[in-house]
Structure 1
Amino acid sequence: MSDQSSQSRRTVHLAVYDTLADWETGHATAHLARHGHPVRTVGLTTAPVTTMGGLRVQPDLALDDLGPEDSALLILPGASAWDEGDGLAPFASAARSFLDAGTPVAAICGATAGLARAGLLDDRDHTSAVSFYLAATGYSGAGRYREADAVTDRGLITAGPTEPVAFAREILALLGVYAGEKLDAWYRLFHDSDATAFAVLEDA
């Protein structure tokens, strides 16, 4: 594999769109970037978007210009827009293409509902904010819903809006940033404020 291809396959893509929930992906993207996974933003177009917190984000590329072969992971944050029509449906379609190609996808909060509507949670264990939130989509995967902070199944990570650290933990594990006691220490430090975990991470 060429250096350029190798770098491309380490790049993580963060979907950005209006009303994006700012708090849900920061732990994941910051620690990915610190450990050799460049993070690029992808929008429906390259027009600027505005997050729920009022931040203006200029996407690095448009969704039509991104293929599974160009990415290590597609992250889909929550957003009010997921529940306000079909405007973000192209991102759910992209998630299907990624998963079919063996490239992982991570969805949190409202993005899980978007994937449920697209049928992507029907045959995978998953979680979300609460079970009845996904049930309202009319999907067929209710039997695979898990009461957990975050779930990984066959390349798809899901989490609810109150679990950004657990969401990041699953992403960091999937991409091999941390494993074993280092992964556990990272989670204890950022989720539980366990100061003893810092020394374990310092040895990483």
Structure 2
Amino acid sequence: MTSKTVYLAVYPTFADWETGHTTAHLAQHGYAIRTVGPSLDPVSTMGGVRIQPDVSINDVHPGSDADVSMLILTGAELWDMGDELAPFARKAREFLAAGVPVAAMCGATAGLAREGLLDDRAHTSAAAGYLAATGYEGGRRYVDTDAVTDGDLITAGPTEPVAFAREVFGKLGVYEGEVLDAWYRLFHDSDLSAYEVLMAAEGAGVE
């Protein structure tokens, strides 16, 4: 079991449904999930859930903390309503520069596009046109698929929370190979045969 930290960005209009699979299974495998907000003030999600951030974005420094494993950025209406969330995109740049993975969904991908982080990396989002509207220069690297991993960057669209989780688990080594495939088939396709693979792996002590 690991004791490493994954930062989950939380901000007003945070899209609740996008990271439930990801954070639940990371926590079950020993990762500490710490919520990081614009400040320490409580925020309300798109679903009306009130969250008290554990830490402010200004106090997160991946290069100086060897226990940090990933930054997760979810969608939010605010990504398309101005620059209020730009500090999170800039923090993503800091994570990537430090060699720490970043995973972004939906509107967060537009934030990364505006920051120039998708210009030279394969990526996906809600739609190619959505990112093109940001004026970014990475359109040639857009991939029309459920989720994409390119080096330390993971991207996905708003309707792919299971594929997003799959990429995160694969990147962090939570599940691998046929076990990772079985996890995806169980939660995405309701394939009950995949459950047997997962239980067999758990019994053998394989993650």
Match of 2:83 among 78, 82, 86: 86
1:168-187 pair list within 5 angstroms: 168-187=165-184
The answer for the alignment partner of 1:50 in structure 2 is 44
Amino acid at match of 2:76: A
CA distance in 2, matches of 1:33, 1:148: 27
The normalised TM-score by structure 1 is 0.95
Q: Deviations along 1:89-112, whole A, 9 cap, x unmatched?
A: 000000000001100000000000
Task: Pick the aligned partner of 1:142 from 139, 143, 147.
Answer: 139
Task: Tell me the residue number matched to 2:204.
Answer: none
Structure 1: where are the runs of 5+ without partners?
Answer: 1-5
Q: In the alignment, which residue of structure 1 is the partner of 2:151?
A: 154
Amino acid at match of 2:113: A
- The equivalent residue for 1:120 is 117
State the TM-score, normalized to the length of structure 2.
0.94
* Residue equivalent to 1:62: 56
Divergent runs of 4+, >3 A: none
Deviations 1:73-121 (A, max 9, x none): 0000000000000000000000000001100000000000000000000
2:97 aligns to what?
100
Q: Which runs of 5+ in 2 are unaligned?
A: 202-207
Using the TM superposition, give the Cα deviation of residue 143 of structure 1 relative to its aligned residue in structure 2, in angstroms. 0.1
What are the superposed Cα offsets for residues 158-187 of structure 1, whole Å, 9 maximum, x if unpaired? 000000000000000000000000000000
Q: Residue 72 of structure 1 is aligned with which of 69, 73, 87?
A: 69
User: How far did residue 38 of structure 1 move?
Assistant: 1.1
CA distance in 1, matches of 2:129, 2:51: 32
Give the equivalent residue in structure 2 for 1:15: 9
Aligned mates of 1:63, 1:46 — CA distance in 2: 9
